[in-house]
């Protein structure tokens, strides 16, 4: 059953309909078939200029997207991490570090974990004094940055037994096989 529109929706719809003007019909605009035929001009095809860009150098649209916030870890994968079906052998505790030392340590740690073949890591940031610590706030930004974008698949808050709000699960992408 369809619900009636809310008051804010009706107000928005009123603003939209106030700005829309009806398209004039041909008769109202004084058009005739003769006038319409005179407007149609035959077109000639012009030869196309040669392509100056190598098609192989064009990146697909998904590769050109700007680095934005990371998505959360897929629900089934997060469940496996929480229940430790996917081992959390890679753990990093950033307590006591300032952000200038924490960022390179985080990047080096995750690169090493990815190269060792780990699929998940636990990064402990702490909550901070008021619950919004600098490391807790900045770590997701660092994980979404260009330095780690190619190895990090997703980030989610950790379960209570792994640190709760003061820790993050980091899902790592599969490492391509060595040739």
| Per-residue tokens: 76 | 């089934």
Name the 3-class secondary structure at 154: strand
Query: What percent of the chain shows pLDDT beyond 90?
Result: 11
Q: Average pLDDT in the 102-131 region?
A: 88
Q: Average pLDDT in the 66-85 region?
A: 74
Q: Average pLDDT in the 125-129 region?
A: 84
CA 63 to chain CA centroid, Å, is 12
pLDDT at 108: 92
pLDDT at 111: 92
Over 70: is that where the pLDDT of 130 sits? yes
Over 60: is that where the pLDDT of 23 sits? yes
Over 50: is that where the pLDDT of 14 sits? yes
Q: What are phi and psi of 65, to 5 degrees?
A: -65, 145
Cα separation, 175 vs 116, whole angstroms: 9
Q: Average pLDDT in the 120-141 region?
A: 85
Over 70: is that where the pLDDT of 47 sits? no
175 and 115 in contact (C-beta within 8 Å)? yes
Mean pLDDT, the chain, as a whole number? 77
Over 70: is that where the pLDDT of 126 sits? yes
What's the pLDDT band for 107 if we cut at 50, 70, 90? very high
Q: Report the relative pairing of strands 167-172 and 90-93 from DSSP bridges.
A: unpaired
116 and 135 in contact (C-beta within 8 Å)? no
Over 70: is that where the pLDDT of 98 sits? yes
Cα separation, 26 vs 41, whole angstroms: 19
Q: Report the relative pairing of strands 167-172 and 120-124 from DSSP bridges.
A: antiparallel
pLDDT at 83: 84
The least confident of 19-33, 88-102, 114-128 is 19-33
Over 50: is that where the pLDDT of 65 sits? no
82 and 159 in contact (C-beta within 8 Å)? yes
């Amino acid at each position: 059953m369809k619900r009636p529109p809310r008051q804010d929706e009706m107000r928005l719809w009123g603003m939209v309909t106030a700005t829309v003007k009806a398209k004039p019909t041909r008769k109202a605009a004084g058009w005739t078939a003769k006038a319409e035929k005179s407007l149609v001009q035959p077109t000639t095809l012009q030869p196309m200029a040669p392509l100056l860009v190598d098609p192989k150098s064009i990146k697909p649209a998904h590769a050109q997207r700007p680095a934005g916030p990371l998505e959360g870890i897929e629900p089934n994968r997060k469940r496996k991490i929480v229940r430790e079906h996917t081992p959390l052998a890679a753990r990093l505790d950033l307590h006591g570090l300032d952000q200038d030392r924490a960022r390179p340590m985080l990047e080096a740690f995750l690169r090493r974990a990815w190269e060792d073949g780990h699929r998940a890591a636990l990064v402990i940031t702490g909550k901070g004094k008021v619950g919004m610590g600098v490391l807790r706030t900045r770590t997701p930004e660092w994980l979404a940055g260009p330095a780690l974008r190619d190895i990090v698949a997703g980030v989610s808050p950790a379960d209570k037994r792994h640190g709760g709000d003061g820790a993050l699960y980091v899902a790592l992408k599969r490492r391509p096989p060595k040739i």
